[in-house]
Amino acid sequence: MLAYAVKRIGLGLLILVLVMIAMYAAVFLVPGDPASVALGPRATPELKRLLIERMGLDQPVWWQIVEFFRNALTGNLGYDVWSNRPVSTLVMEALPNTLILGLTALTVALLIGVPLGCLSVMRRGTAADAVIGVISVGVIAVPSFVVAIYSLLLFAVTLRWLPAIGAGEAGDFVSQAKALVMPAAAIALGWIGYIARMVRASMMEVMGEPHIRTARSFGLPEWKIVSKYALRIAIIPTISLVAVGLGSILSSAVFVEAVFARPGIGKLITDAVNTRNYPVVMGTVLIMTAIYVSITIAADLLIARLDPRVRDVFRG
């Protein structure tokens, strides 16, 4: 298990390095050097030279990458071109909002999606199963920004139940929670459908296995067979799906944060890209990749924890 964890973490670090090299490549493929793009067409040559030096753009590319990682290891992700504030500070300010948004959405999606999938299996072939199926496919088909805009119109503009923009008053839990409802729902809705379908499909397969017949032959109640004997196996593909899907949850956070003008990593990236603020783009992408890679590793370790057979494969 430990060797497995070390191997996965090593691979994760390699992915981080590759992503950053790709990011650097992208920056240098864009026409014009980053400094003139950042400063605009009317910048004086002196100003431009100053910025090029400060961003280290006069150094060889490989050296820039090495420097970037060396600085990143000490917590220095570079400086915002405009405000000159450290990128790490900007990220740390924005990150909690996005993490709360993503985790709330994911938790809600799991808490609704998994029981719906189980219910589908227990009532397979009935009207309830069909209704859950149609609703699941329906919500998967609706993009999260559409949900965001319509819920904004309905709940914020027409009904005035929930705040339209922002993340709520700092320190006021109720106001923060109210500001979280619509963005989280916009992200969670499609995932409820995905998770319900996934749980249903893998559970149907598990329910046909002989050990389920054994559990039935001992007269265990159906809810216990589904929730304990089948779900522990059937949830494994869902964990992988959710871990991979977290990437798209984070990218839908970009849209959703833009629609609700909610401060967060998504909004930070969008603004930075729009203003060609390269250090901020790089720093945030590094942090997001790191988060994504850690979640994937956590999911793999969780699967190994749930399935003793996986555990043994990596032990031996």
Partner 1 sequence: MSGSLAARDLSVRYETPHGSVYALRHVDIEAHPGEVIGIVGESGCGKSTLVTALANLLPANARIDGSISYNGVDLAKLDAHRQRLLRGDEIALVSQDPMTAFNPVLTIGDQLVDFQHHRKDLGRAQKRARIAAMLGRVGIADAERRMDCYPHELSGGMRQRVAIAAALLTDPGLLIADEPTTALDVTMEAQIIHLLRELRREYNGIVIVVSHHLGVIAELCDRVYVMYAGEVVEDGEVDAIFHDARHPYTQALLACDPARFQERLDRLPTIPGSLPNLTQPPSGCVYAPRCDRAFAPCGSVVPPRVKLSASHIARCHAVTP
Where does this chain bind partner 1 (CB under 8 A)?
209-211, 213-221, 224, 228-229, 232-233, 306-309, 312
Q: Rounded to the nearest whole angstrom, what is the least distance from the CB of residue 241 to partner 1 in the complex?
A: 18
Per the CB < 8 A criterion, the answer to whether 267 and 166 are in contact is no
Per the CB < 8 A criterion, the answer to whether 117 and 196 are in contact is yes
Q: Rounded to the nearest whole angstrom, what is the least distance from the CB of residue 210 to partner 1 in the complex?
A: 4
Minimum CB distance to partner 1 smaller for 58 or for 312: 312
Q: Rounded to the nearest whole angstrom, what is the least distance from the CB of residue 5 to partner 1 in the complex?
A: 20
Range 64-87 burial, b when 16+ CB lie within 10 A, else e: bbeebeeebeeeebbbbbeeeebb
Which 8-state DSSP code applies to residue 264? S
Indicate the angle between helix axes 231-259 and 173-207, nearest 10 degrees. 140
Cα→Cα distances 32→38, 59, 76, 193, 230, Å: 10, 16, 26, 45, 57
Minimum CB distance to partner 1 smaller for 138 or for 221: 221
Q: Rounded to the nearest whole angstrom, what is the least distance from the CB of residue 122 to partner 1 in the complex?
A: 13
Degrees (nearest 5) of the Cα angle 77, 78, 80? 120
Q: Rounded to the nearest whole angstrom, what is the least distance from the CB of residue 218 to partner 1 in the complex?
A: 3
Minimum CB distance to partner 1 smaller for 42 or for 309: 309
Indicate the angle between helix axes 87-122 and 278-306, nearest 10 degrees. 40
Looking at this protein, which amino acid is placed at residue 158? T
Minimum CB distance to partner 1 smaller for 173 or for 218: 218
Q: How many helices (H) and strands (E) does the chain have?
A: 14, 0
Degrees (nearest 5) of the Cα angle 101, 269, 267? 45
Minimum CB distance to partner 1 smaller for 180 or for 234: 234
Q: What share of the chain is helix, strand, coil (3-state, %, to 5)?
A: 80, 0, 20
Nearest-angstrom CA–CA distance, 305 and 136: 29
Which 8-state DSSP code applies to residue 79? B
Minimum CB distance to partner 1 smaller for 125 or for 171: 125
**Three-class secondary structure of residue 86 per DSSP:** strand
Q: Rounded to the nearest whole angstrom, what is the least distance from the CB of residue 206 to partner 1 in the complex?
A: 9
Instruction: Report, in angstroms and rounded to the nearest whole number, the Rg of the chain calculated over CA atoms.
Output: 24
Minimum CB distance to partner 1 smaller for 265 or for 301: 301
Q: Rounded to the nearest whole angstrom, what is the least distance from the CB of residue 94 to partner 1 in the complex?
A: 39
Q: Rounded to the nearest whole angstrom, what is the least distance from the CB of residue 21 to partner 1 in the complex?
A: 40
Minimum CB distance to partner 1 smaller for 169 or for 312: 312
Q: Rounded to the nearest whole angstrom, what is the least distance from the CB of residue 106 to partner 1 in the complex?
A: 23
Minimum CB distance to partner 1 smaller for 160 or for 309: 309
